[in-house]
Amino acid sequence: MKTTKLSGVDGVTAKPTLKTIAELTGLAVPTVSRALNDAPDIGMQTKKLVREVADKIGYVPNRAGVRLRTGRTQVISLIISTEHEIMNHTARMISSIAGALRETPFHLNVTPYFPEDDPMKPVRHVVENGLADGIILNQIQPRDPRVQYLRDRAFPFATHGRTETPNAHPYFDFDNLAYGRIGTRKLLERGRRNIAVLAPPLDQTYAQHIVSGTRDIAEPAGATVRVIDGATTNSPHDVIQSAVHEHLAIAPNTDAIISSSASGAMVAVAALEAEGRELGIEVDVVGKESLPILTLFRPRIIAVSENVTMAGAFLARAVLQAILHPEEPPMQGLDIPSG
């Protein structure tokens, strides 16, 4: 393979084409095209060289041409809700998915939808208009109609979360059942016996896992578990705070709260302290975090880590496999918390 110095590349003024890259690298145009499309028969060094040159000269593939040649858009669509907590939680995931796609010919598009919208609408829009080759979903329900819709159409996808039939599709999930159990054990060790759960919407799989995990450990030990009514961790902060106050009025003996999110845990602490409860002395709070912020906020909070960066990278690989190698078993991963 001929190696070409790139010192003169900055002087390229015409719109770069595959032929431009071929001339600069000494490769044939078909080889350049296959390298940019991540063909398995092209070596990694060749792919790296071609992509470096393409980036240097600002080469942008003609999407219409790519689609005509391959039948693909080379786009992955991440469909997410605009809910406040979800947007905070997935900011790192978006970065991780984009990073995992960086060395591939695929690009990430984020397709948001509002909480009051039908969550099927953006999925149908992407599929029926051929806007992407694959989809990544979150906020998964046990019997999620979006998953069934995509399976019925053999459309590649991966989910952040599991359904009741997880073996049937690619997914990555945080083990929220284990999270509920770990948090509850820690609370029991501190003598807590009246536990409240600040959960996500209960129609979602991970909410049910958190509540089940908490009850699995609490009830055999004689502790009580109540889910806080009137708010979820997706609710605005003032709504969560009001719901915690109302819960304490109904169940004043509450001595622990398990939250499914870091922000929910911090709002719960604020509500408890406003009630005159001293964290770590009269009451304890367990929170799940993707960044180490909870113990900086209050050192006595019980924090459990979730690796959202790992989740995003895995989901990117899983949806790529579903697109490029649909005959292979679906990729599936689980982040099991320690503690």
**DSSP run (H or E) holding 134:** strand 134-137
Q: Are 210 and 258 in contact (CB under 8 A)?
A: yes
Q: What is the pLDDT of residue 92?
A: 83
**CA-based torsion, 291, 293, 294, 295: positive or negative:** positive
Per-residue pLDDT at 86 exceeds 60: no
Task: Give tens-digit pLDDT for 315-331.
Answer: 999 999 999 999 999 99
For residue 12, the model assigns a pLDDT of 46
Residue range(s) of every CATH 3.40.50.2300 domain in the chain: 70-169+309-335, 176-305
Residue-level pLDDT at 290: 87
* 144-180 pLDDT per residue, tens: 999 999 999 999 999 999 999 878 899 999 999 999 9
Q: What is the DSSP letter of 198?
A: E
Domain 176-305 fold is Rossmann fold (3.40.50)
Confidence of residue 206 (pLDDT cuts 50, 70, 90): very high
At the second CATH level, the architecture of 9-60 is: Orthogonal Bundle (1.10)
Residue 70 pLDDT level (bands cut at 50, 70, 90): low
- For the chain, residues classed under CATH 1.10.260.40 are 9-60
Question: Binning pLDDT at 50, 70 and 90, where does residue 110 land?
Answer: very high
Q: What is the pLDDT of residues 233-278, one digit of tens each?
A: 989 999 999 999 999 999 999 999 999 999 999 999 999 999 999 9
pLDDT (mean) for 22-39 = 83
| pLDDT tens-digit map of 267-297 | 999 999 999 999 999 999 999 998 889 999 9
At 64, phi and psi to the nearest 5?
A: -65, -40
What homologous superfamily does CATH list for 70-169+309-335? Response regulator (3.40.50.2300)
CA distance linking residue 206 with residue 174, whole number of Å: 8
